[in-house]
Amino acid sequence: MGKIIFEQLNETLYHETLENGLEVYILPKQGFNKTYATFTTKYGSVDNHFVPIGEKEALKVPDGIAHFLEHKMFEDEEGDVFQLFSKQGASANAFTSFTRTAYLFSSTSEVEKNLHTLLDFVQHPYFTEESVEKEKGIIGQEITMYDDNPDWRVYFGVIENMYENHPVKIDIAGTVASIDKITKDLLYTCYETFYHPKNMVLFVVGALEPDPIIKLIKENQGKKTFKEMGDIKRIFDSEPFEVAKKKEVLRMSVHTPKCLVGFKEKNPNRQGSELLKHELAINTLLDIMLGQSSNNYEQLYNEGLIDNSFSFDYSAELGFGFSIIGGDTKKPDQLVASLEKLIESFVNTPLDKKVVDRAIKKKIGAFMRSLNSPEFIANQFTRYQFNEMNLFDVIETLEELTIDELEQKMKEHFDPKLFTVCQVLPK
Amino acid sequence: MNNEVKQTQVNGINLHVVETNKYKTNTIVLHIKSPLVKETVTNRALLPYILQNGTERFPSRQEIRSYLDELYGATLSVDVGKKGENQILSFRMDVSNENFLRDKSPLLEEAIKLLADIILRPSLEAGVFKPQVVENEKRNLKQQIQSIFDDKLRYANMRVTEEMCKDEPYGLNVWGYEAEIDEITREALYEQYTTMLKNDSFDLFVVGDVNNDEINQMVQNHFTFDNDRKPNSVQNDRQPKTDIVKENVVFEEQDVKQGKLHIGFRTNTTFNDDDYFAMQMFNGIFGGFSHSKLFINVREKASLAYYASSRYESHKGILMVMSGIEFSKYDQAVSIIKEQLESMQNGDFTDQEIAQTKAVLKNQLLETIDVAKGHVELLYHNSIASKSRSINDWLTGIENVNKEEIVKVAEKIQLDTIYFLKGKEE
């Protein structure tokens, strides 16, 4: 088992690639009661067009199937896996994002049993026509719940504006109509293709000793056999450079309008340290431009264009990326006009070294804070791993950012041609 | 594992310190408590937002924020909450432990000093809060109140509480009332502020790799009140148990796609009662978890909903059930939920369900104290109630509950109000 020590942070990470291809990471956390484990496949809502394992022809699957599969994994011949976890004092959950499906538990006792349960249920698909039909009612209500949620609608609305073809524009859960097309056989096809250990990462963090944990994992995996597996072939249609739509307005039952603006990523093919640097740079720039200590925030706030809900974020994966800015506002069009103006002037003004240093300090503090959370460490480490980056390189990368790099990146990213707006207005 | 809590009284503040080395940051939380009162609820809701807008040393919001960034991105957030029939104003800070940074300048005392400044030395003009600040925060509060309407789950939760507790302080909205905001004067706000300093109960929590004596000294030095504090121990009266003669059923229509069914029950059991742990067990078996009766029967068996759960507010003794359903499934969902309560009252649950629920409740508690802010919230229950329970009391309390006790608390539970938010008739 490999071992990496991060001295400044006082953390030690253990790592091993198992014979079947599974990547295992273990991070002991002293003083914590709980252990938290995630078992994640590099498979999310965007992987809707691919060549199934053992086949030659590509297949397009219904929208929402990765998320549907996540729901159905919790059922086996014996019934509901939640029941088993709670008998063992654990709380279990799962989530599906654009690019990942993660299964997880946390517990303060019976960690070994719970780890076995996690590995076993995710590696044991069991679907019947009947149970698939039943799930359609439950997920249908989940979709309807999000349909009524204006924050969700405006967020996905702005992403949908950006993309012409890329499946990131499709809602992760699909629609009531699309999930109706899901069958037991399609679920097995997706499962066989994407749930191979070679496509997965197991991360265990918390009150634990690494040696017995890796031993348990190896024993568990050693007992199972998996088909030979080559590289997964995913198919993505080419995506134009420009945004698909400049503006969209949704009408909903709200009192205060919601307004988000976004910038579509120009070069969504970065991976590894290049992506890490880019992501940290754009987020630092957003903070300098619009953070609570900026003049711009002060101005927008005093003009009554934003309130405490105002926020911003940049995120990127292989194939897509975007920054999204906004919140609740009484004057959505005026907010858009002000943002356009201030972003343009920001991009054309040299950065102040003092302000940059302060923003980087803030980012370092925020990263330290997030290391208090086993959930953050496991989920983010896995995400970084799938993008060939290392979570523990964050502080060093932040400290190495130069003003020149930041200035070059801000000119590239905040390009008016890649700007789009989505608003939710009262009916 | 060190979960010991050291409690002292410093300058009229209840100070709680948890010394632990498991975090990379230190957490500071100040809760300010006073009874919920219709006349002052809106004014008080404005106060924390106004106070974070400037101090004598840092006269504007922007200067405070810049200073926080300088302190390696220390965070400061304010909030208003309800615990039982109290309105709680909260200030939360989190600051890096410099031992993990290359730059070793001490950060914690600076953070405590800043918090003390925010509470005690606000930036003023002509002896009251600044006009621009008050205008901004009034506008903000209006939008805050409106945002409840925009989030249908929160809205339904507020409405069921309002309908159920019409004549009780608990029915008040802690954010106050939009219609009252325009009338509030700067003078009235400042008066409210001085009353807060004089009469409200202050609980200050510090969690992290800290030293209790040093923290006591810092609080002593920085939280200096001009006058002696006389925290008001007045509580809203606890309502005597009233028999609910008839279920209160409220339907409301809005332009929505999913129905929000919220049902309020009176449990007649609170944090101060001996059967509190039995009530926690009841809630766990009935609707608190994904192995609970509501999840199994409303979601898994009948496929009616994505979520169906219950939440117990232990200081008021209210249990809320919530589920998002199709409009046409109202009758079926209500009858399944009622059946689950009846089955609890009839003792129709197994030893396995009891064991499972004990395991997850204990797990939940131990996980809560892994998060500094979670630990603080747990400790704060003791300050709200008249009873003090340690983590160990809690763990043994849960372990010792038996089936008869759960049935007994179940029998005391009465359905009070059914609230259903549904779509408009076409």
Please compute the mean of the pLDDT values over residues A280-289 and round it to a whole number.
Answer: 98
Domain limits for position A322 = 247-426
pLDDT surpasses 50 at A392: yes
**Subunit contact A141:B22, Cβ cutoff 8 A:** no
Helix, coil or strand: residue B159: helix
For residue B228, tell me if it sits in a domain.
no
Interface test with A, best of B70, B104, B150, B209 (most A CBs within 10 A): B150
For residue A241, tell me if it sits in a domain.
no
Exposure on the CB side of residue B87, measured as CA atoms within 13 A: 25
Domain limits for position B128 = 5-222
Rounded Cα gap, residues A287 and A359, in angstroms: 7
| Alpha helices by DSSP H, B151-211 | 152-164, 178-181, 186-199
Angle at B227 (CA atoms; ends B226, B229), nearest 5 degrees:
120
**Subunit contact A366:B62, Cβ cutoff 8 A:** no
Instruction: Characterize the bridge pairing of strands B86-96 and B75-83.
Output: antiparallel
Report percent pLDDT > 70 for chain A: 100
State both tokens at A289.
């431009």
How high does pLDDT run on average in chain A? 96
- B222, B238, B267: which is the final residue of a domain? B222
Question: A324 Cβ partners below 8 Å, 6+ apart?
Answer: A155, A158, A159, A260, A261, A262, A312, A313, A314
pLDDT surpasses 80 at B243: no
pLDDT surpasses 80 at A309: yes
Task: Provide the pLDDT confidence category of residue B418 given band limits of 50, 70 and 90.
Answer: very high
DSSP 8-state secondary structure symbol assigned to residue A352 = P
**Subunit contact A307:B139, Cβ cutoff 8 A:** yes
For residue B235, tell me if it sits in a domain.
no
For residue B285, tell me if it sits in a domain.
yes
| 8 Å CB contact between A51 and B320 | no
Specify the CATH number for the domain of residue A360.
3.30.830.10
- Residue B1: the pLDDT is 41
How high does pLDDT run on average in chain B? 94
- Both A167 and A97 in one domain: the answer is yes
Distances (CA, A) of A342 to A200, A290, A294, A335: 43, 10, 12, 10
The neighbouring-strand residues paired with A96 are A101
Q: Which helix (H) or strand (E) holds A312?
A: strand A311-317
Number of structural domains in chain A = 2
- Both B275 and B134 in one domain: the answer is no
- Residue B236: the pLDDT is 66
- Both B213 and B79 in one domain: the answer is yes
- Asked whether the CA dihedral A283, A289, A295, A298 is positive or negative, the reply is negative
Q: Which of residues 284-303 of A touch B (CB under 8 A)?
A: 291-295, 297-298, 301-302
- Both A373 and A415 in one domain: the answer is yes
- A213, A234, A255: which is the final residue of a domain? A234
Exposure on the CB side of residue B248, measured as CA atoms within 13 A: 19
Distances (CA, A) of B253 to A328, A370, B152, B156, B178: 24, 42, 12, 11, 21
Number of structural domains in chain B = 2
pLDDT surpasses 80 at A61: yes
Model confidence pLDDT, tens digit, residues B3-50:
689 999 999 999 999 999 999 999 999 999 999 999 999 999 999 999
ipTM of the complex: 0.93
- Both B114 and B254 in one domain: the answer is no
Model confidence pLDDT, tens digit, residues A119-159:
999 999 999 999 999 999 999 999 999 999 999 999 999 99
**Subunit contact B25:A142, Cβ cutoff 8 A:** no
Give which of B359, B398, B332 is closest to A113, Cα–Cα. Answer: B359
pLDDT surpasses 60 at A358: yes
Task: Provide the pLDDT confidence category of residue B240 given band limits of 50, 70 and 90.
Answer: low
- Both A412 and A294 in one domain: the answer is yes
Give which of B181, B183, B210, B199 is closest to B99, Cα–Cα. Answer: B210
- The set of catalytic residues of A is 70
Rounded Cα gap, residues A60 and B262, in angstroms: 40
Please compute the mean of the pLDDT values over residues B58-72 and round it to a whole number.
Answer: 96
For residue B241, tell me if it sits in a domain.
no
Distances (CA, A) of A98 to A50, A65, A140: 15, 12, 19
Model confidence pLDDT, tens digit, residues B261-271:
999 999 999 99
Report percent pLDDT > 90 for chain B: 91
* A72 CB within 8 Å of a chain B CB: no
Interface test with B, best of A70, A175, A283, A369 (most B CBs within 10 A): A369
Burial class (CB in 10 A: 0-12, 13-18, 19+), A13: buried
Where do the DSSP E strands lie in B291-392? 308-313, 318-325
- Residue B426: the pLDDT is 58
pLDDT surpasses 90 at B104: no
pLDDT surpasses 70 at B326: yes
- Both A152 and A28 in one domain: the answer is yes
Specify the CATH number for the domain of residue B116.
3.30.830.10
Task: Provide the pLDDT confidence category of residue B237 given band limits of 50, 70 and 90.
Answer: low
- Both A225 and A372 in one domain: the answer is no
Give which of A239, A199, A271 is closest to A43, Cα–Cα. Answer: A199
Task: Provide the pLDDT confidence category of residue A79 given band limits of 50, 70 and 90.
Answer: confident
- Both A266 and A167 in one domain: the answer is no
Helix, coil or strand: residue A305: coil
